[in-house]
Structures are given as structure tokens and as C-alpha cells.
Amino acid sequence: MIFLYTKSTNKGLSYLFFKKCYFVAFFLLLFFTNHLFAQVSVLTQHNNLKRTGWNDQETQLTQASVSGGNFGKVFTRAVDDQIYAQPLVVSGVSIGGGTHNIVIVATVNNSLYAFDADDSATSAPYWQANLTYSGYRAPQASDYPDACAGNYQDFSGKFGIVGTPVIDNTTNTLYVVARSTDNTATTFVQYLHAINILDGTERPNSPVYITATVPGTGDGSDGTNIPFHERQQNQRPGLLLYNGVVYIAWASHCDLSPYHGWIIGYDASTLAQKYVYNDTRNGGLGGIWMSGQAPAVDDNGYIYVSTGNGTTGSTGNANDTANRASSLLKLSTSSGALKVADFFTPSDFASLNDNDLDYGVDGAIIIPNTNLSLSGSKESYLYLINNNAMGGTTTDNSNVLQQLNVNAGFLGEKHIHGSPVYFQDNNSNEYVYAWAENGLLKQFPFNRGTMLFDTLNKIVGNTQLPAGMPGAMLSASSNGLQQGSGILWASHPLSGDANHNVVPGILQAFDATNVTNELWNSNMNAQRDSIGRFAKFVVPTIANGKVYMATFSNKLIVYGLNSASTSSCPNPLPSPWQSADIGYVAYAGSVCYDTGAFTITASGDDIWNTVDAFHYVYQTAASSNFEIIARADSAQNTSPNAKVGVMVRANLDPGSPHVFMTIEHDYGSAFQMRMGQNNYSTTSGDNPNFMAPSWLKIVASGNKYIGYASTDGSTWTFIDSVVLALGAKPYVGIAYTTHNNSVLGTALVDKVSLNDLSPLPVSLTNFNARNINNTYALLKWATTTEINNDHFDIERSGSNSNFVTIGSVKSLGNSTEAQQYAFNDNNPLDGANYYRLKQVDINGNVQYSTIAVTKFNLKLIDISPNPSHGQLYIRNNSNFSNNSKLIIQVTNEDGGLLFQQESASSGNNLITVNLPLSITNGAYFVKVINANGDMQAKKIFVNR
């Protein structure tokens, strides 16, 4: 049995789900993929009802096509204001005298546009409509002088349409909420519109004025009922269309009271109001905003939303469903009303609220073919919950199956906004991705056997997000389960805090099977592809070979294949060479190629210390044994430190570890290295014997990189060497910076050759390494063919050590069929472990594989139980304690020290901590500090 993706329609809204099928169906799927999945529509926020954010019907955008230098901006469409709603795509629409795919864009000026989704020549919209109430205008931030103490900047301007619309493609109807106010900002109105997507006109009964009341004594009540407040309620989440009902949810404007979390449902055909729900009817707040995500729906028809800070429970009843702020709600309409069927609330919700780490900033994602959901808090944790037994409010979070740490600090200082996304690859590996502010992208493998996430084998990206909100907005795409088609797309600030500012943005594409492998980003060719101003909380839309990006630059930007070149050079770069600007450069760089010579134009500050700002001509290395040779003919005198040379680097992010054999304009050759991401560079020192023109060479032998210089390309002088692991797919190429970001300069490099010193005749597939219970590394690989193969030596290195042999596996010798191999490394290194295979044939000839990586934390201290009933047990780890004294501290969630104990670790495998009675039930942090001052901390609950 396998999992096969199929398509299902529920009252006009398509969504994806898993279905078990027989093995033969898989081959039918592969055979007919290009026909079945020729065109796809994106009709709702994050693609489907489970809000996975995954389009698995993308047949054109593959890892190879996106990374191959042929992907970029293909056209833009001007609109009248900022775009906060996700662009939606409808395929096969009868419009404009033919059948076309259209993309629908909504702006904060209450405008809708229907553009051709594919034709770059058709710039005018098929139709345009403005939904502002007659005689009114779109609201704006200055209309709220009483919000945020008069400093309301969550919206930088207008906010007419903010929530992502939803489309019923069986009736060609779009549903959207538009907000308006009179010119004095005294009266505010909100209307639900049903729009014909063929011409932009209103459907019958549309628009409908949004108003409602619920029984309750909470904020804004007259003592009996609570009215819906058009001014206070912010319609931020995407709309949900399910089972013939349009569901709309609301939060607030900067906690301006009175407000509540509302959900109102309207009949999609008649627009008659069917359901009204208020999550704090006897209290206050509890806004439903979810960073713009729409409510999710599981296979049984339950609706899921997360609610923000506010009244949670009631006096004497923490599980009172009348007030359910700070919760994940499972809602049902089975009784004829929209009601809470079950819910989850973090045990320490009050502390999270007090520290601005509140729950409810992420919408819920339903893990396909499970009863599990993920949702999160600003604390930067994601909570895995069993939707069939959510457990309500407990004293110890015992109803949480697992907490995923996305970027939580000791006191959880790095917010995560926007829900994670899901993807499955061709080997049935499943992943969820999340990216918090000021942090690194996380890729969590999901284990179907345990129904938990394999946190020991999570993959961590290289790009560090800037400090400040909101983190990255994610989507995924693939061509079914086809190998090499999985891409993770991320939109995030390039610099600055987007919370109260409009900042520049960037779109990045990563290999969805390994997010350390960046495929492309919009700043590589910023002259053509720059995204402009980042659209806060808007995820990328991927459909039919295009990526549609909202911006705050009053533009829709469309990326795709066959993008126009910005170069005036007559010759393209020969494959597989590509070029990109790395880091912040004031002027976009470029490169011209002519009969073996590369003329590079660039600006940039430097390639030194923690700074990277330069132009890079590169390709990926085929193995860990190679040499790159080039002659640096000249570099313009833009600075005495202008640099050009050959470089090997781990990634294309600023601050990447690298080795660089360079010539500086006034100082000659130098061998430069950066030993870790964002570390400071070091150098061998300048050698004035080699000025341009001179030859440069780097020889890679495993993790050892040796730098040479020459005046003639024949007699080489050793400059320096370093041992440094640069990952599974290091980049190799030519780097040039003017060392003066205010000017463009030119460098000429020729006689370039990249020689693989270890081609592998044995056809290897799926060489990978996994951390098993933080105890041993499991290495697996397969061969499709073998000729005269005798055995495989398994070699391992650390980050700053070269490869050594740790074992051997006998091979079959000769085979034309797939063969499977495995090896256990029972003594892994602490930290990153890099593995490669040395294939030895029967004649003693040797070739090397690519590199597989896994990480171990052999210093991990185990603190248990959680929850504690008054005692804690610290299991000693001599790798951390060094058999010296340990200090154990217990603090409250604000960091205040409540208890401290010193304990000897030598000869003591288990340290007992008796908590004083003054540490009552609640959430705390336990810190274990060794003699070197290294600390490990864990959040624990006390439940006596």
C-alpha cells in the first residue's frame, strides 16, 4: 500500500487529502501526472482546508528548473495600494473572449483585480472593481488614534480588504469582506460581497451588511447581549468556504476594546446569516487573527481556529467554553449552531499572555491522514495535539503530545507567526517547516510509526532572519511525489522589523528535502527579481509554473521560467555556471562570458570578518575531491582591498563558512577562511609576490582545502591550508567585491577550470545519515549498478577535522539491480558528523561519494519527570559535567531565581532535586550549569 494524492471537491472548494490506493495506482499516477495535473487552481488561503500550504500539482517548477538560472521575475501588475490578502488563481476561466487562467488580487483600498495569470503581454485587468461603500472610503491607521496609546502602526496605511478571499469555482463566485468608513471616521461598516469572477459584478443578495449579537455579559454588553462592533473588529483571517457556508473570523485593532473573537457564517447561495459565535461572550478579547490564516477543517468536518489572549475559562471553571481565549478550538455545527466541540489551552496561558508570548498567533494545520494538528504561540513553540482528545486546560500540558521548538530562547523571545507547512517526498518522508523571527528555518521530519516528529533529525537552514517580526511566510510545491520537484518557498523581510514599519522583502526557494540547499532567491539578480516592499503575513501562491507574490509596493509580482535577461552580454553563462549577488550590494552585479573569460561587474562592501557583499559566479561541486583553477587578470582600483579570486563556500547566505584564494588590489594574494556561519574571517596574510594577473588554485581533498598561487599557471606556490567541513554540496566559483559599495567595478577572470578528482562509477542513490535516539548514526545507501566493486569504506569527519575511516561494508561486486546497504556508527561525534563513502574496486582504485550529514548532542542533560510532583531527577552526562560540580537553578517564567542547588557529578549518575513547597503548581524553568558556565534549560510544570 502507498499514499496517493487525489482531488476531491466539497461544495465547490477543492482540497487535497490522502487516500490509500493499491501499488499499481502509483505507476498510473506517474504515467499520467502531466495530464492529470496540467492546470491547478488556488482558491483559498494556504491551498486547502487542512491549510498545509502545499500545492502537489506543480508540474513545471522543479528544483532543477528553479535553480538552473532560468527562473525569475516574468511580469508585474500595478494595483492601487498594498496587498495583504493572498493572491488566488483560477484556471480555465471563460473570460476575455477565450479560456484563461486568472489571478485575483485584493488591495487595502477595497479594490479587486482579475489579471491574466500567465500572459505577460496582457497587462490590463480583465476587470476591476472597488467595493468601498458608497460615499465612504477605506479605513486607515489614522482613524484609530485611541489604539496603541495613539501610536497605531500595525497597518501602515489603509485596511479595506485584509482577509484573503475564498472562491467557489463551481459557481465562479468570490467571497470577500470589505470595510469602509465615512470621511470623518465616525461610522464604520463591513460588508460581505459575493463577486462574479467572470466580470466583477455583485451576485444576487450581495453585498450583505455584517452585524450580529450574541447573549453575554462580556465587554461591550448591554447586560444581556453583545453586539458586533464594526470599528473594533479586524477581519484579518482568510475566509473559509465549507459545506455551502462562508465563515468569517475577526480579531482586533491593537487590542482596542471592547472586542472579541467572532466567527459568523453565511449561506453561500443566499448570503443569509446561519451561524454566529463569540469566543469570550462573558469576558473580553480572544481575537481570532492567526497571522492571516483561514480556519482549518478536518476530514470529519470539524472547524479549527486558534484564539489570542483574553478571558480564558471562568472563576472556578478553567474549562468553561463560554470564554475560550488563548486556545485551539474545535468547532461543530452538528447542533444547528456553531459551538465548541473540544479545545486545547496551554497550561501556562496566563504567563504567556503576561510576557507577550501569547498563544493563537498561528493558525492550525491538520497533518494529512491523521487526527493531529499543529498550532503555536509567540513563545516559538508548536503544539502537537490529538484532535480526538484535545484535553482542554490541564495543569501540566499533559495533553500536548509534543512541543516543537522553532526558535524559543530561555524566556521564549523569538516570535513565530503564520502556520507551518507540510510536504511529502518521493520516499514517503514527511516534513513540516516553520521559521521564526531572528532565527533559522526548521525542517521537522514526521514519523508515521510513532505519530510524532523526529526532532533528533530536524534540518536547520542557514539564513538568519533579521530581528523583529514577523518571521517567514511559507508555502510548498511539488509534482506529486516526483523526485526533485519538492520546493519550499519563503517570503520574509530582507532587513528591519516589519511590525510597525514597511521594510524590504525577499523570496527564497529551498530544496524541500533539505532546506540547507537554497535553490534561488529574489536578490540573486536583484536588478530583475527584487521583490520590493515585504507584504506582512502573506504567503506565496504557486500555480501552473508561476509564483505570485503580494507586495506593499502596490504591485503583484509574478515569478516563473524563461524570465527576461537583464544582461546586455551577447553570450549566456555556460551551464552549469550561474551568478548571484551575495549579501547587501548597493548596485546589482552581473557577469559577461566570452570564450573562457568572465568579466564580472559588482559593488559590495567586503568579503571579510562577518561581512559578505559581493558577486559570485558559481556551480556546485560534484564531490568532496576537486580543484578549481583560475587566472585573476585584473580588478578595478575601487579600493586597495578590492578582491577577486576563487572561492568554495557552504551556502549562498551572507556569513557562510568558506575558503577564498584571493588577490587584493594593492596587497597581493591571500588565503582567507571563515570557520562557521557568521563567524569572523581569518587569513594567511598578504603575499605581494602575486599581483594581478596571477593564477589561483584551491584543491579540495575531503575537508582539507589547500590554496596555491602562481605567476604562470605551471609552477605553484603553496599559500596555506585549512580543514573545514563545507557540507554536502559546497559551492565553487569566482568571487569579486569592490570593497566600496558606492561604486560598480569590473574584474576579469579567465582560464577557469573545475576538475572533479573522484568520479564515482558505482551508481549511488539515497545516501543518508540519521541520528537514532542520540545514540548512534544509521547510514543507508543504495546502488543501481555496480561494476567490479569490492567494498565501501565509511569515512567520517567533524566540522573542523578531515575524514577518517570508521568501518567497511563488503559489496556485491557486479550488479545491474538495485542493492541496499547500511552501516551503524556507534560512536558518533558531538555536533555535526559528516560521512562519505570510499568505493574501492577489485583493482584497488578508489572513488568518493557525496557527503551525508547528521548532528548529535552528546552533552544533553536529561531533566525529568515533566510534570514534576515535587522532585526532579538530573541524569548526569559526563560530556557536559566533566565530572565537576553542577549548579541547578529553578526560576519562574520571568527569570526570577526561586531555588538553587549545587551537586557533585563525579560518580553520581542521578542527581535528585527536592523542590521546596514554595514552588507551587505552575510552569518554571530548570537550568543546569556546569563548571565552564555552559547552561542547559528546560521548561517544566509542577503538579503536586
What pLDDT does residue 468 have? 87
366: nearest Cα among 432, 289, 308: 432
DSSP string, 427-483: TS-EEEEE--TTS--EEEEEETTTTEE-GGG-EE-SPPPPSSS---EEEEE-BTT-T
DSSP string, 123-192: -S-SEEEE-PPTT-B--BGGG-TTGGGG---SSSSB-SS-S--EEETTTTEEEEEEEEE-TTS--EEEEE
Quick one: pLDDT band at residue 24, thresholds 50, 70, 90?
very low
Range scoring the smallest mean pLDDT among 662-671, 693-702, 835-844: 835-844
What pLDDT does residue 410 have? 66
Cα separation, 64 vs 519, in Å, equals 8
What pLDDT does residue 459 have? 95
Spell out a b/e string for 815-851, using b for 16 or more CB atoms within 10 Å of the CB, else e.
beeebebebebeebbeebbbbbbbbbbeeeeebbbbb
Q: What is the pLDDT of residues 116-143, one digit of tens each?
A: 999 888 889 999 999 999 999 999 999 9
What HEC string does 69-110 produce?
A: CCEEEEEEEECCCCCCCCCEEEEEEEECCEEEEEEEEECCCC
Average pLDDT value over all residues in the chain = 91
Pull the grid cell for residue 689.
609576490
Beta strands 54-55 and 473-477: pairing type? Answer: parallel
Cα separation, 233 vs 230, in Å, equals 6
Alpha carbon of residue 329 to chain centroid: 25
Q: What is the pLDDT of residues 462-480, one digit of tens each?
A: 888 888 889 999 999 999 9
126: nearest Cα among 229, 197, 37, 57: 197
- Which residue(s) pair with 914 in the sheet? 871
Range scoring the smallest mean pLDDT among 1-15, 199-213, 337-351: 1-15
Helix (H/G/I), strand (E/B), else coil: 390: coil
Spell out a b/e string for 257-291, using b for 16 or more CB atoms within 10 Å of the CB, else e.
ebbbbbbbbbebbebeebbbbbbbbbbbbbbbbbb
State yes or no: pLDDT of 575 exceeds 60.
yes
**How many angstroms separate the Cα of 185 from the Cα of each of 119, 143, 854?**
41, 6, 58
Q: What is the mean pLDDT of residues 478-484?
A: 95
Q: What is the mean pLDDT of residues 568-575?
A: 83
State yes or no: pLDDT of 6 exceeds 70.
no
Residues of the chain above pLDDT 90, percent:
74
Pull the grid cell for residue 405.
521548538
Quick one: pLDDT band at residue 535, thresholds 50, 70, 90?
very high
What pLDDT does residue 762 have? 67
Pull the grid cell for residue 285.
478579547
Which tops the pLDDT comparison, 546 or 757? 546
Q: What is the pLDDT of residues 97-112, one digit of tens each?
A: 999 999 999 999 999 9
Are 624 and 848 spatial neighbours (Cβ–Cβ below 8 Å)? Answer: yes
What pLDDT does residue 385 have? 98
State yes or no: pLDDT of 557 exceeds 70.
yes
Q: What is the mean pLDDT of residues 853-878?
A: 90
Q: What is the pLDDT of residues 753-807, one digit of tens each?
A: 998 876 656 677 789 999 999 999 999 998 887 778 889 999 999 998 999 999 9
Question: What single-letter amino acid sits at 547?
Answer: V
Q: What is the mean pLDDT of residues 479-494?
A: 96
What pLDDT does residue 421 have? 97
Cα separation, 457 vs 546, in Å, equals 32
- Which residue(s) pair with 619 in the sheet? 732
Residues of the chain above pLDDT 70, percent:
95
Which tops the pLDDT comparison, 905 or 3? 905
Quick one: pLDDT band at residue 5, thresholds 50, 70, 90?
very low
Which helix (H) or strand (E) segment is 273 a member of?
strand 273-278
What pLDDT does residue 32 have? 39
State yes or no: pLDDT of 833 exceeds 50.
yes
Q: What is the pLDDT of residues 898-911, one digit of tens each?
A: 999 999 988 788 89
What pLDDT does residue 122 have? 85
State yes or no: pLDDT of 31 exceeds 70.
no
What pLDDT does residue 14 have? 37
Quick one: pLDDT band at residue 114, thresholds 50, 70, 90?
very high
